[in-house]
């Protein structure tokens, strides 16, 4: 008996709900930081922290969006072969 370890994206796709929540939260912080960039005086400590938050939330949003898209592709490829077997039962 050999047990095959799941690939990285199979293990990641098992947690797709958490990744979607991470995307939503990071996108919300991105929009909030984007609005605050224009509110604070340029060069102040608040503007520096806001720009760092903007970059960090953009990275998290991009990575989580990529993971969600990749999981859709993996799930679509794995279910394509299963749908054709059920058509012969009619």
- Per-residue confidence (pLDDT) for residue 80, from 0 to 100: 67
Q: Determine contact, residues 20/68, Cβ cutoff 8 Å.
A: yes
Tens-digit pLDDT profile for the chain (90 aa)?
445 667 777 788 888 888 899 899 999 999 988 888 888 888 888 888 888 999 999 999 999 999 889 888 877 777 765 555 555 554
Q: Determine contact, residues 9/74, Cβ cutoff 8 Å.
A: yes
- Per-residue confidence (pLDDT) for residue 83, from 0 to 100: 53
75's enclosing H/E stretch is: helix 45-85
CA distance 52 to 64: 18
90's enclosing H/E stretch is: none
Domain layout of the chain by residue ranges? 8-82
Which tokens is 45 given?
């400590």
- Per-residue confidence (pLDDT) for residue 36, from 0 to 100: 86
């Amino acid at each position: 008996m050999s047990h095959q370890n799941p690939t990285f994206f199979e293990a990641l796709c098992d947690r797709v709900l958490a990744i979607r929540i991470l995307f939503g939260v990071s996108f919300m912080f991105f929009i909030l930081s984007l609005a605050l960039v224009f509110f604070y005086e340029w060069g102040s400590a608040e503007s520096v922290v806001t720009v760092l938050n903007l970059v960090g939330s953009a990275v998290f949003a991009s990575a989580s969006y990529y993971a969600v898209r990749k999981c859709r592709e993996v799930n679509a490829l794995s279910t394509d072969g299963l749908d054709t077997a059920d058509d012969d039962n009619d």
